[in-house]
Amino acid sequence: MSSEIIVNAEPFETRIALNENGVAAELYSEREGEQGIVGNIYKGRVTKVLPGMQAAFVDIGLEKAGFLHVNDVDTIESIENYRKFASEQFEEHEDLDFDQSTDEDEGNGYARPNGWGRRNWRGENPKSIEELLKDGQEVLVQISKEPLGTKGSRLTSYITLPGRYVVYMPTINQIGISRRIEDEAERKRLRKLVHQYQQPGAGYIVRTASEGMAVDDIEANMMFLHALWEGIFDNHSNTSAPALVHTNLTLIQRVVRDLFGSSIERMIIDSEIEYERCRDFLTAYYFHLVPKLQHYKRKEPIFDYYGVELEIERALGQRVWLKSGGYIVIDQTEALTTIDVNTGRFVGKRSPEETITQTNLEAVREVVAQLRLRDIGGIIIVDYIDMEREESREKIFNAFKEELSKDRSRTKISKISELGLVEMTRKRVRESLEHVLTDPCPYCEGRGRVKSAATVSYESLREVRRVCVHHQTSRKILVNVHPEVADRLLEEERPHVEELESHLNIQLVIKADPELHIEGFEVISF
């Protein structure tokens, strides 16, 4: 199977598509201003110790001081003597098996395993906050929760660096294996592998995604995390508090970390700036992948050229047509998602049972493809067309299981019932594509959905680029949009509008037209 990563990097939004055999299989997006600070690492200074609350406030350079509870304080008294402490104490420290405490395995990797904090890693009685921290003391901390209301960020000094296959804990000498890896032989293999490449004094949580992976893949992931920590430690040593010493990876970097491996033929980026940044990142951590990185230089928008834009439009529709003439209908509700399979225009050439089975088989591939592309999670009910024969139901079920094996998200499915229903769950990692790109429809009082003003704004700006490609002599472009979209373009997106004007050497005129649907717009060149 041919796979490639397509990156559309605009100043206002980064979109990344994983294409399999020329078709978009997964889509990721991140808009300017939506990047959180969870996972960022700071060199902070303790401003106030609170014995009554067994906590401390730490100045990390943000508007509000962070909150550090005693349970989140590493018992290593000073990060400055980390290397000496690791070499002298950790090498002989017995590894603890905390398999039963690794439920965070599928989370963001920033919360330490349950049970740590009441008793420190050495098994000693817990210390008070007064024993661990003093006013003015410098500490290395990581943000575990975003600021909320009047409260500052929640902090922890248990530094964790999540990778695709392992979570690296530079200061905790323990190794844990996800409970979801049930095969004992595989657990032993992974533990031995991690021990082989373990840094002195460091710990790891082996994630579910590592099950069955090759030694080279896991080793590369561990080496990346080790190099990342070295860079963080160097920044810490050369910086005065308060200061940011590590920013959580960008969307492109996370995709490189999690997806860009031996199975990917190439990664193509349309932005020269992001291409250079990605090249530097690969050179530092994944040098062997540099030859696979390419810069897209065509004038045609990259998502148009590779057919991703069309797939996104399909993914926002309720009905998806099959090549045979059948179709599936996807309805997302708060409680669950239902997918209905219909024969549509497909009548077949033989028996009704064969027609139904063929439609269901074709639907199996499309259902899984839409689940991945739309990133639908939670409870899912698939209503296949009723099949009379048990062997037909078994055939569909086995095909469904095989297609789901391509999905990186964890799924559980039940046997097809006599009514043709399949109940399944799919792990929800992030918001679905529908919720990211659309808002509740104001025209039908929330019973449906329309594209958000932000989405339409960005589509109109992309259309301006297309018009300029076909009308290269145009110097003035009129954009007629719905008033909500016009307000967005003239206010929040004004810097991007001006940047586009400068880049294309044109004048953009934004005109509000209340007669237009919120998703509609017109781009006219002069």
Domain count, the chain: 4
Residues 352 and 213 in one domain: no
- Per the DSSP assignment, residues forming a β-bridge with 166 are 206
How many Å is the Cα radius of gyration of the chain? 26
Give the pLDDT score at 346: 63
CATH number of domain containing 218: 2.40.50.140
Tell me the C-alpha distance between 507 and 502, whole Å.
8
Judge whether 53 and 140 are in contact, CB under 8 Å. no
Evaluate whether residue 444 is within a structural domain. Answer: no
Cα separation of 262 and 217, whole Å?
9
Measured CA to CA, the distance from residue 127 to residue 120 in angstroms comes to 8
Taking the C-alpha atoms of residue 524 and residue 467, their distance in angstroms, rounded to an integer, is 8
Q: How far is 119 from 90, CA to CA, in rounded Å?
A: 17
CATH number at residue 479: 3.40.1260.20
More confident of the two residues 268 and 317: 268
The span from the CA of 246 to the CA of 141, in Å, is: 10
Instruction: Answer yes or no: do 210 and 243 share one domain.
Output: yes
Q: Judge if 282 and 392 occupy the same domain.
A: no
Nearest 10 degrees: Cα torsion 129, 135, 136, 139:
10
Q: Does the pLDDT at position 208 exceed 70?
A: yes
What is the reported pLDDT for 118?
36
Distances (CA, A) of 240 to 137, 425, 431, 476: 12, 48, 38, 50
Is the pLDDT at 105 greater than 70, yes or no?
no
Using pLDDT thresholds of 50, 70 and 90, give the confidence band for residue 147.
Answer: confident
Contacts 24+ apart (CB under 8 A), 79-84: 79/139, 79/140, 79/236, 80/237, 82/170, 82/171, 82/201, 82/233
How far apart, in whole angstroms, are the C-alpha atoms of residue 171 and residue 132?
16
Does 446 fall in a domain? no
Cα separation, 355 vs 420, in Å, equals 15
- pLDDT higher for 471 or 495? 495
Residue 21 has pLDDT above 80, yes or no: yes
Does the pLDDT value for residue 6 go beyond 80? yes
What is the distance of C-alpha 1 from the center of its chain? 23
Among 395, 430, 465, where does a domain finish?
A: 430
Same domain, 212 and 354: no
Three-state DSSP class for residue 480: strand
Shared domain check, 257 and 171? no
Same domain, residue pair 166 and 296? no
Nearest to 312 by CA among 1, 11, 13, 106: 13
- Are residues 89 and 117 located together in one domain of the fold? yes
In whole numbers, what is the pLDDT of the chain averaged over residues? 84
Q: Is residue 8 part of a domain?
A: yes
Give the CATH number, domain containing residue 297: 3.30.420.60
The pLDDT assigned to 335 comes to 83
What pLDDT, on the 0 to 100 scale, is given for residue 387? 86
Q: Are residues 426 and 356 in the same domain?
A: yes
Would 51 be classed as within a structural domain?
Answer: yes
Q: What is the mean pLDDT of residues 242-249?
A: 90
Q: Which amino acid belongs to residue 218?
A: I
CA angle, residues 455, 457, 461, in degrees to nearest 5? 115
Q: Token pair of 519, please?
A: 């998703």
pLDDT band at 461 (very low <50, low <70, confident <90, very high): very high
Q: Is the pLDDT of residue 460 over 90?
A: yes
The residue among 396, 430, 464 that closes a domain is 430
418-427: pLDDT as tens digits = 777 999 999 8
Which of 221 and 77 is assigned the larger pLDDT? 221
Q: Which of 127-131, 162-166, 445-449 has the lowest mean pLDDT?
A: 445-449
- Would 445 be classed as within a structural domain? no
On whether both 351 and 486 belong to a single domain, the answer is no
Q: Check whether residue 77 and residue 15 sit in a common domain.
A: no
Tell me the whole-structure pTM to 2 decimals.
Answer: 0.71
pLDDT score for 268? 97
- Cα–Cα distance, 144 to 485 (Å, whole number): 35
Query: Of 296-300, 348-352, 396-400, 517-521, which gets the smallest average pLDDT?
Result: 348-352
Neighbours of 83 (CB within 10 A): 12
- Same-domain pairing of 178 and 235: yes
122 inside domain: yes
pLDDT of residue 366: 93
> 171 pLDDT band (50/70/90 cuts)?
confident
The answer to whether residue 442 sits within a structural domain is: no
Q: Please say which residue of 264, 286, 308 terminates a domain.
A: 308
Residue ranges making up the domain that contains 340: 316-430
Tens digits of residue pLDDT in 40-99 = 999 999 999 999 999 999 999 988 999 999 888 875 443 333 334 333 433 333 333 444
Distances in whole angstroms, Cα of residue 180 to Cα of each of 8, 177, 187, 203, 258: 35, 8, 10, 19, 19
Examine the domain organization and report whether 18 and 145 are in the same domain. no
Model confidence pLDDT, tens digit, residues 270-320: 999 999 999 999 998 788 899 999 999 999 999 999 999 999 988 888 899
> Is position 443 within any domain?
no
